[in-house]
């Protein structure tokens, strides 16, 4: 593995920021901050609106005081299937792709110790839980006919702005490898861009790929998850007040591969100077982080529960690798070869990322033992997240985060009704846009339903179905004409269907 010298780090970070799978920026700050609790079948079926309810291992992630309602030991395990579907629209051409996989949203164990029926402390609980808090598994395919530009135009626009490349004494290959090893250097080595001289002896750069009227395909495969090990201590005071605190150990793993290709609009036209070229990006992130949470639930009346919780920042330490490759099928290359492929060096860096504080207010209304309604409201300020670098200060990136990202609210609603040994549940959630109140772009919507079955006093089952919907967009590359980017957004409408089952043992 080749490590890029320190003197080039600033330049490379700026260069990687222009890639689709870019190093760090607004999109990564959002992705690292967003939390979508999965949890048990009961919690998911109720939209995860459990902040004032407790009595579920998912409470260790949302409001640790929820563990205070336990009076017995419990072991839970949740598994399921999810199908992620992505509908992409690029230059009015729609493509659909999907990914099916097994998942383990939650597992954990809870221990409850009785103290006294007469003293303030009635029970003390300790719990260890693993909960998935985000899922990065999906596949997307996009295809469109771009009438006005090629990604090569963006490469040439950069090349034509570098004065050193017009000096006859410059070794172009060495220069591009030293300063642009992830885009221009592979393009140069595969004859995607080349140097020419006009009749007056002036140097210019061009490509066999025409400026537009090309078919563009952009396929992304993403794998990974964000999960949290939570260690919680809670207590029951007078059977009216429940308090808890937890330490969370978060693990993030994300691997993305992008395969971008271009072909002529008329593939069998003998005048074509190229048949196909492709650009591949691979990005791998691994991170560990730590946070702290505390919460309280109180019973002012038998029919009302009120909860509040605070989550500290999560401080992640990232290790990241990035590489690219370009392959070309060209006619008339100077070396007489038809196919060329060039791999970039592997870029590796470490850095830290800090998420915002989170505040949660919850309320539940109970109708005896028959049913309930519950609601959570979660507040966080995406603009307070930040990157911390060891070699690079991330000054511009953090300024963009502060200027562009805003406070947001997440709302979760749920209900549960008992019919003998069965529990009927449904829920919904709205995760607000990172760009501020009243904005819909970047928001996520969920609806869910499920059923629980208490087989006996020891074993119970919970089943849930959840549908998640979101719309995102990105620009495959940027090419400027008269100061404006003329490349269309690639819009993606994403759905995720998830079915889970939870098995609970009370000891």
203: three-class secondary structure by DSSP: strand
DSSP state of 478: -
- Summarised one tens digit per residue, pLDDT across range 372-381 is 999 999 999 9
CA 52 to chain centre: 27
pLDDT at 138 over 60: yes
Sorting pLDDT into bands at 50, 70 and 90, what band is 9? very low
pLDDT score at 59: 83
Could you tell me how many residues make up the chain? 507
Instruction: Inform me whether the pLDDT recorded for 186 exceeds 60.
Output: yes
| pLDDT at residue 23, rounded to an integer | 52
Q: What is the pLDDT of residue 8?
A: 35
Residue 486 has a pLDDT of 94
Taking a C-beta distance cutoff of 8 angstroms, is the pair 425, 450 a contact?
A: yes
Which residues are within 8 A (CB) of 306 and not within 5 positions of it... i.e. 6 or more apart? Answer: 52, 297, 298, 300, 362, 363
More confident residue, 330 or 43: 43
**What interhelical angle do 395-404 and 26-33 show, nearest 10?**
70
**pLDDT reading at 339 higher than 80:** yes
Domain 6-506: assigned CATH number: 2.40.160.60
**Average pLDDT of the segment spanning 472-496:** 94
**Please, are residues 268 and 275 in contact by the beta-carbon 8 Å criterion?**
no
For the stretch 247-259, pLDDT in tens is: 999 999 999 999 9
**CA angle, 144 then 150 then 156, to 5°:** 165
The residue with tokens 């642009």 is: 180
Question: What mean pLDDT is predicted for residues 137-148?
Answer: 95
Please, which residues have CB within 8 angstroms of residue 457's CB and are 6 or more apart in sequence? Answer: 506
> In which band, very low, low, confident or very high, does the pLDDT at 20 lie, cut at 50, 70 and 90?
low
In this prediction, residue 266 carries a pLDDT of 85
Average pLDDT (299-307) is 94
Q: What is the pTM of this model?
A: 0.88
Residue 358 has pLDDT above 80, yes or no: yes
Phi then psi for residue 73, to 5 deg, are: -80, 150
Of the ranges 111-120, 189-198, 425-434, 435-444, which one carries the lowest mean pLDDT score? Answer: 111-120
Residues 23-29, mean pLDDT to the nearest whole number: 80
Strand partners, 282: 257, 323
Is residue 500 over pLDDT 90?
A: yes
**Top-confidence residue, 309 or 392:** 309
Alpha helix (H) residue ranges in 180-272: 184-189
Question: What does the DSSP 8-state code read for residue 419?
Answer: E
Distance, in Å, from the CA atom of 492 to the CA atom of 84, rounded to the nearest integer, reads 12
What's the mean pLDDT when you consider all of the chain? 91
Q: In angstroms, rounded to a whole number, what is the distance separating the alpha carbons of residues 153 and 263? A: 14
Where exactly are the structural domains of the chain?
6-506
- Residues 97-108 have a mean pLDDT of 92
12, 347 Cβ separation under 8 angstroms: yes
- CA dist 464 and 251 (Å) reads 25
Per DSSP, helices labelled H in 181-296 are 184-189
Mean per-residue pLDDT for 355-371? 95
Question: Bigger pLDDT: 136 or 335?
Answer: 136
Q: E strands within 265-346?
A: 274-301, 304-311, 315-330, 339-343
Q: Compute the average pLDDT of residues 263-282.
A: 89
The pLDDT confidence band at residue 22, using thresholds 50, 70 and 90, is low
Q: What is the pLDDT of residue 11?
A: 39
Q: Three-class SS of residue 168?
A: coil
Are 442 and 434 in contact by the 8 Å Cβ rule? The answer is: yes
Determine the pLDDT at residue 335: 74
Which band of pLDDT confidence, cut at 50, 70 and 90, is reported for residue 154? very high
Whole-angstrom distance, CA of residue 93 vs CA of residue 218: 12
Which residues neighbour 301 within 8 Å (Cβ) at sequence distance 6 or greater? none
């Amino acid at each position: 593995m080749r490590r890029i010298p320190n003197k080039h780090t600033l330049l490379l970070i700026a260069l990687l920021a222009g890639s689709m799978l870019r190093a760090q920026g607004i999109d990564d700050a959002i992705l690292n901050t967003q939390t979508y609790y999965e949890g048990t079948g009961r919690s998911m079926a109720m939209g995860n609106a459990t902040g004032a309810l407790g009595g579920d291992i998912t409470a260790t992630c949302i409001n640790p005081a929820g563990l205070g309602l336990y009076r017995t030991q419990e072991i839970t395990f949740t598994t399921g299937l999810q199908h992620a579907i992505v509908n992409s629209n690029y230059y009015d051409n729609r493509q659909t792709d999907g990914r099916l996989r097994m998942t383990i949203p939650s597992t954990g164990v809870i221990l409850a110790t009785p103290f006294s029926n007469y003293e303030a402390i009635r029970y003390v609980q300790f719990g260890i839980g693993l909960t998935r808090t985000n899922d990065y598994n999906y596949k997307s395919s996009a295809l469109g006919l771009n009438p006005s530009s090629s990604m090569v135009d963006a490469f040439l626009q950069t090349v034509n702005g570098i004065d050193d490349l017009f000096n006859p004494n410059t070794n172009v290959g060495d220069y591009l490898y030293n300063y642009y090893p992830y885009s221009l250097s592979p393009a140069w080595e595969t004859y995607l861009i080349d140097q020419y001289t006009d009749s007056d002896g002036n140097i210019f750069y061009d490509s066999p790929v025409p400026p537009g009227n090309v078919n563009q395909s952009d396929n992304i495969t993403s794998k990974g998850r964000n999960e949290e090990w939570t260690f919680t201590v809670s207590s029951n005071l007078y059977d009216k007040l429940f308090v808890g605190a937890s330490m969370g150990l978060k693990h993030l793993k994300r691997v993305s591969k992008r395969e971008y290709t271009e072909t002529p609009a008329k593939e069998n036209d003998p005048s074509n100077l190229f048949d196909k070229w492709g650009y591949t990006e691979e990005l791998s992130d691994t991170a560990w982080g730590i946070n702290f949470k505390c919460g309280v639930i109180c019973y002012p009346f038998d029919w009302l529960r009120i909860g509040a919780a605070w989550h500290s920042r999560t401080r992640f330490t990232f290790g990241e690798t990035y590489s690219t490759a370009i392959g070309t099928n060209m006619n008339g290359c100077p070396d007489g070869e038809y196919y060329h492929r060039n791999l970039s060096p592997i870029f590796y860096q470490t850095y830290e990322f800090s998420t915002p504080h989170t505040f949660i207010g919850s309320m539940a209304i109970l109708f005896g033992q028959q049913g309930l309604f519950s609601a959570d409201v979660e507040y966080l300020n995406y603009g307070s997240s930040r990157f911390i670098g060891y070699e690079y200060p991330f000054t511009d990136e953090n300024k963009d985060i502060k200027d562009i990202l805003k406070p947001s609210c997440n709302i979760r609603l749920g209900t549960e009704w008992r019919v003998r040994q069965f529990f009927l549940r449904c829920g919904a959630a709205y995760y607000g846009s990172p760009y501020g109140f009243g904005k819909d772009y970047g928001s996520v919507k969920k609806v869910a339903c499920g059923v629980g079955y208490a087989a006996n006093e020891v074993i119970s089952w919970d089943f849930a179905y959840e549908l998640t919907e979101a719309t995102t967009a990105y620009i495959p590359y940027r090419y400027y004409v008269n100061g404006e980017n003329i490349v269309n957004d690639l819009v993606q409408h994403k759905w995720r269907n998830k079915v889970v089952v939870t098995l609970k043992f009370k000891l």
